[in-house]
Amino acid sequence: EAQVTQNPRYLITVTGKKLTVTCSQNMNHEYMSWYRQDPGLGLRQIYYSMNVEVTDKGDVPEGYKVSRKEKRNFPLILESPSPNQTSLYFCASRGLRRDEQFFGPGTRLTVL
């Protein structure tokens, strides 16, 4: 089954404790992206990647890092999480010549 998977689905952590949210897709998509969703703000793009070793900032990259060492994986790293990073995070992917993005199920992160 074609899908985007994220882990963990739920995470509660404390300020300053480094964490990684994994994202993996099995559709051989070149393009991958991370979004955060906050009430009243919709989805805002954090980082995106056009292909392996190619990443770029989205609209709200501060406090986040990403890497793209393999085509299928695009982890989101929070080196020193803060409470304002409490949010619902979505990973998405699409083929470079395609329009539709496929979304993962989301990761709900709480930073205390």
Compute the CA torsion angle 42, 90, 49, 64 (nearest 10 deg): 80
Q: Which stretch binds another protein (CB under 8 A): 15-23, 33-41, 65-73, 75-83?
A: 33-41
Measured from the CB of residue 63, what is the shortest distance to another protein in angstroms? Answer: 19
Q: Which of 7, 58, 71, 86 binds another protein (CB under 8 A)?
A: 58
Residue 40 binds to another protein (criterion: CB under 8 A)? yes
Measured from the CB of residue 106, what is the shortest distance to another protein in angstroms? Answer: 5
Residues 6+ apart with CB under 8 A from 19: 11, 13, 77, 78, 81, 109
Contact indicator for 90, 34 with CB cutoff of 8 Å: yes
- Distance in angstroms (rounded) separating the CA atoms of residues 87 and 71: 26
Which residues contribute to the site for another protein (CB under 8 A)? 31, 33, 35, 40-45, 48, 50, 58, 90, 92, 99-101, 103-106
